[in-house]
């Protein structure tokens, strides 16, 4: 009787172990399936602006403009501000090339101290509906054109000091309209040689 009981426990334990191993293998292969390889194909030297192979034609063209602007000895900060505002919006609102809700666009243009809050907010709002790349059947927006509607300069209180800022209003269109936002306003400040977005107004 004891031998039968031990054999039963061993058999059940073995079955349980096999089930756990199978579940772990399925989970492992799912994770592998979700990892699309993304390659950096260009970088603006001395700046942290990268171009990836998945970026749209519009983004690639704007990136090249930014690169040309920043490679000049005399940098045109007005043009620089306009370009990062456009690049930011194009990357943020082009959801179709994102691989998960945590693959947040526009991060490289955000002021480092507020980056974590920015990512969390986007993940919980605009990006929360994104399905994983491997299973995606949903239709997601791609920004096809963008323009600046207005640009002003004003003083702004940031980190307990008054700084100069650009306030840039933009509007854009999608390849297909799924009801996503089409206009916004961003605030940009300068820190040393770099410009950063510090505020987004929908």
Element (H, E) at 171: strand 161-174
**How does pLDDT run across 56-89, given as a tens digit for each residue?**
999 999 999 999 999 988 889 999 999 999 999 9
End-to-end CA distance of the chain: 73
Does 162 map to a domain? yes
Element (H, E) at 25: helix 2-34
**How does pLDDT run across 184-193, given as a tens digit for each residue?**
999 999 998 9
Count CA atoms closer than 13 A to 91's CA, side-chain side. Answer: 25
Does 197 map to a domain? yes
Contact 197, 85 (CB under 8 A): yes
Per the structure, the complete domain to which residue 93 belongs is given by: 43-201
Structure tokens at 149: 């509607």
pTM of the entire predicted model? 0.81
Does 174 map to a domain? yes
Domain count, the chain: 1
Does 150 map to a domain? yes
Does 192 map to a domain? yes
Residue 183's nearest CA partner among 193, 197, 195, 173 is: 173
């Amino acid at each position: 009787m004891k031998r039968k009981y031990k054999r039963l426990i061993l058999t059940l334990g073995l079955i349980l172990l096999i089930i756990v191993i199978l579940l772990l293998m399925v989970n492992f292969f799912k994770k592998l399936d979700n990892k699309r390889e993304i390659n950096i194909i260009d970088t603006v030297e001395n700046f942290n602006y990268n171009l990836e192979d998945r970026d749209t034609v519009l983004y690639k063209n704007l990136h090249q403009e930014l690169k040309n602007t920043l490679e000049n000895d005399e940098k045109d900060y007005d043009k620089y501000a306009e370009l990062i505002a456009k690049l930011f919006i194009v990357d943020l609102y082009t959801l179709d090339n994102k691989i998960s809700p945590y693959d947040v666009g526009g991060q490289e243009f955000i002021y480092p101290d507020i980056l974590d809050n920015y990512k969390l907010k986007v993940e919980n709002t605009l990006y929360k509906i994104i399905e994983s790349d491997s299973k995606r059947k949903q239709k997601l927006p791609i920004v096809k054109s963008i323009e600046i509607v207005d640009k002003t300069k004003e003083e702004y209180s940031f980190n307990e000091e008054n700084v100069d800022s650009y306030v840039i209003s933009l509007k854009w269109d999608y390849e297909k309209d799924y009801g996503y936002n089409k206009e916004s306003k961003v605030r940009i400040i300068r820190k040393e040689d770099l410009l950063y977005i510090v505020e987004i107004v929908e």
